[in-house]
Amino acid sequence: MKYYDDLRSYIDALDDMGDIMHVTREVDGDFEPSAITRRSYEIQSPAPLFHKVAGTEPGFRLFGAPAGLSSRADMPYARVAMSLGLAPGSSGPAIVEALSAARLQPGIPPVRVDSAAAPCQQNILRGDDATLDRFPIPFAHDKDGGRYANTWGTLIVKPPDGKWVNWSIARVMKVDGKRMVGLIVPSQHIGQIWAEWVKTGEPMPYALVQGPAPAISCVSGIPIPAHADEADYIGTLAGAPVSVVRAVSISLDVPATAEIVIEGHVSITRDCQEGPYGEYGGYLGEGSSAQPTFHVETITHRDDPIWPMSVTGRPTDESHTLWAMGLAADALTYLREANLPVTTTWIPEDSTVHWLLVVVPQNWRELLPGVSSEELSQRIGEVLFKTDAMVFIPKVYVVDDDFDPTNLREVVWVLSTRVHPVGRRVVFDNQRVIRLPQCYDEAEYVAGLGAKVVFDTLQSKRHLHASFAQGYPEEIRQRVLDNW
């Protein structure tokens, strides 16, 4: 296992295993990089690294699909695993376990270094020179409201009292060279911090970091408890503190090895239209909303910087790999804290984060004597639907552990044969919903409330599978394999 403390060493490692596609011809600055990246997800090709983007300075590069599925069929989750410092062959459930386990360990706070030791400040742009127009920011999708300056970068903010620091990913659209507009959701941590600045009447300082250590991007996109610093959690994953440096113009620390850092302040009113944007559910966006303006004041960057991007849409992109694993780890942590027997939790990437599988062990009835499968499903729903992360997930399936939840073919087989047509489900009405899941009607979106469901698919008696593994004596199976 190896922790990559900057984006470049991670890209080199992917290149060594044949998982980088070098695009050396010039691509346009509008749609071509995104179209190539989107196709790379859909055919599971190596991640594209664009060396020449029209309209930007020589040496400025774009990097697509940083945590999509690997082109290596023998290690599909390698990009996520390597980003987090895990072995490239790690399974999905192993990654979920690692993310959950790190939440239970003491955090390792970051260490501040001098600016001379911070590659992110090799170049400092102020005033009119600090413009987004210098950088290769393409349109992600044809129907988007603008060029999205943040799809895989980390936003850093802290409340006025400075008691905690939040590192997160939120979509941010470029308005012009000096302005962006970002989606600030009140229930999310960045929204809670922004609301505190609104109360003071002062604009919120922010840093938008592009291309930090891959683990920083990953952890910025997954849920951890409020008032816990992502930097400390990343230190736990890495086994060493994250190196940070004081930003040039604001009182925030930023990752020292980042490619690009944009500094400025966020307005305290929703004064600019953001969207639409093609989201993780797999549909092009429609409509826009008023959101706060991110004013660009200072930009620092490494020599020949690399701007990473995630082009969300139909499976499978970073929303369906890293983010889904983070949500699954959040669910696993809360269920185990409630002393419920859970083997693992998993969100199949092809469900576009609309399904959560809760896998329970064969002996769960011994661990919970007298509890029926319906009662277990009820308890699971009561725990999960109180958590913030479950606002994204409308359907939970409680399943036995006699199949591989990461194998979509097996998932479809289990759900199609074990979900009752009308019964064996626990419905939770009036649950908090947001517009990102695609399954509710307009009245539910307006109210912010809708139904969620836990499907009880647990077998009262385990049935043997009509399969090679379970349908034949061991000596016959071995003879077949020996002579295959």
For the chain, the average pLDDT equals 96
Q: Tokens 């505190």 sit at which residue?
A: 196
Average pLDDT over residues 290-297: 98
Q: Are residues 126 and 242 in the same domain?
A: yes
pLDDT of residue 187: 83
Average pLDDT over residues 158-170: 96
Mark whether 202 is an active-site residue: no
Average pLDDT over residues 119-148: 97
In a domain, 317, yes or no: no
Cα 136 to Cα 52: distance, rounded to the nearest angstrom: 9
pLDDT of residue 301: 98
pLDDT of residue 462: 87
The distance of Cα 370 from the centroid of its chain, to the nearest Å, equals 38
With contact defined as beta carbons under 8 Å apart, do 362 and 289 qualify?
no
Q: How many domains does the chain have?
A: 2
Say if residue 174's pLDDT is above 80: yes
Q: Are residues 282 and 244 in the same domain?
A: yes
Cα 308 to Cα 259: distance, rounded to the nearest angstrom: 9
Confidence of residue 316 (pLDDT cuts 50, 70, 90): very high
pLDDT of residue 225: 84
In a domain, 470, yes or no: no
pLDDT of residue 344: 98
Whichever domain contains 390, its CATH number is 3.40.1670.10
Cα 410 to Cα 351: distance, rounded to the nearest angstrom: 14
Confidence of residue 190 (pLDDT cuts 50, 70, 90): very high
Confidence of residue 303 (pLDDT cuts 50, 70, 90): very high
Say if residue 277's pLDDT is above 80: yes
Alpha helices in 221-371 (DSSP H): 230-238, 324-337, 364-367
How does pLDDT run across 40-95, given as a tens digit for each residue? 999 999 999 999 999 999 999 999 999 999 999 999 999 999 999 999 999 999 99
R_g of the chain, CA atoms, integer Å = 23
Q: Are residues 403 and 301 in the same domain?
A: no
With contact defined as beta carbons under 8 Å apart, do 345 and 387 qualify?
no
With contact defined as beta carbons under 8 Å apart, do 298 and 125 qualify?
yes
Q: Are residues 280 and 407 in the same domain?
A: no
Angle in degrees, CA 200, 203, 204, rounded to 5: 95
Q: Which two tokens stand for residue 146?
A: 């603008």
In a domain, 474, yes or no: no
Q: What H or E segment, with its residue span, contains residue 193?
A: helix 189-200
Q: Are residues 107 and 188 in the same domain?
A: yes
Cα 355 to Cα 324: distance, rounded to the nearest angstrom: 10
What is the total residue count of the chain?
A: 484
Q: Could you tell me the maximum CA-CA distance found in the chain, to the nearest angstrom? A: 76
Say if residue 383's pLDDT is above 90: yes
Q: Are residues 256 and 345 in the same domain?
A: no
Render 386-415 in DSSP notation, one character per residue.
Answer: TSSGGGG--EEEEEESSS-TT-HHHHHHHH
How does pLDDT run across 415-424, given as a tens digit for each residue? 999 999 999 9
With contact defined as beta carbons under 8 Å apart, do 63 and 7 qualify?
yes
Q: In sequence order, which residues have a C-beta less than 8 Å from that of residue 302 and are 6 or more positions away?
A: 119, 120, 122, 123, 258, 259, 260
In a domain, 323, yes or no: no
How does pLDDT run across 218-268, given as a tens digit for each residue? 999 999 887 889 999 999 999 999 999 999 999 999 999 999 999 999 999
Spatial CA neighbour of 53 closest among 20, 25, 34: 25
Range of the domain at 419: 338-456
Render 158-177 in DSSP notation, one character per residue.
Answer: --TT-S--EEE---EEEEET
How does pLDDT run across 322-352, given as a tens digit for each residue? 999 999 999 999 999 999 999 999 999 999 9
Q: Are residues 401 and 290 in the same domain?
A: no
In a domain, 433, yes or no: yes
Average pLDDT over residues 386-390: 94
Q: Are residues 100 and 159 in the same domain?
A: yes
Average pLDDT over residues 401-410: 97
In a domain, 374, yes or no: yes
Pairing, β 344-346 against β 355-360: antiparallel
Q: Are residues 261 and 363 in the same domain?
A: no
In a domain, 132, yes or no: yes
310, HSE (Cβ side, Cα atoms, 13 Å): 34
How does pLDDT run across 23-44, given as a tens digit for each residue? 999 999 999 999 999 999 999 9
Spatial CA neighbour of 138 closest among 280, 38, 207: 38
Q: Are residues 250 and 383 in the same domain?
A: no
Say if residue 399's pLDDT is above 90: yes
Q: Which residues pair with 126 in a beta bridge?
A: 298
Kindly state the percentage of the chain with pLDDT values over 70: 100
In a domain, 327, yes or no: no
Which among 259, 263, 274, 279 is annotated as catalytic? Answer: 279
Cα 104 to Cα 118: distance, rounded to the nearest angstrom: 31
Q: Which amino acid makes up residue 433?
A: V
Whichever domain contains 194, its CATH number is 2.30.110.10
Q: Are residues 230 and 354 in the same domain?
A: no
Q: Are residues 153 and 28 in the same domain?
A: yes
With contact defined as beta carbons under 8 Å apart, do 252 and 158 qualify?
yes
CA distances (Å), origin 263, targets 28, 179, 198, 209, 275: 27, 11, 19, 9, 22
Alpha helices in 225-308 (DSSP H): 230-238
Confidence of residue 436 (pLDDT cuts 50, 70, 90): confident
Q: What H or E segment, with its residue span, contains residue 384?
A: helix 373-384
Backbone angles phi, psi at 134, to 5 degrees: -70, -20
pTM for this prediction = 0.95
Say if residue 1's pLDDT is above 90: no
pLDDT of residue 227: 80
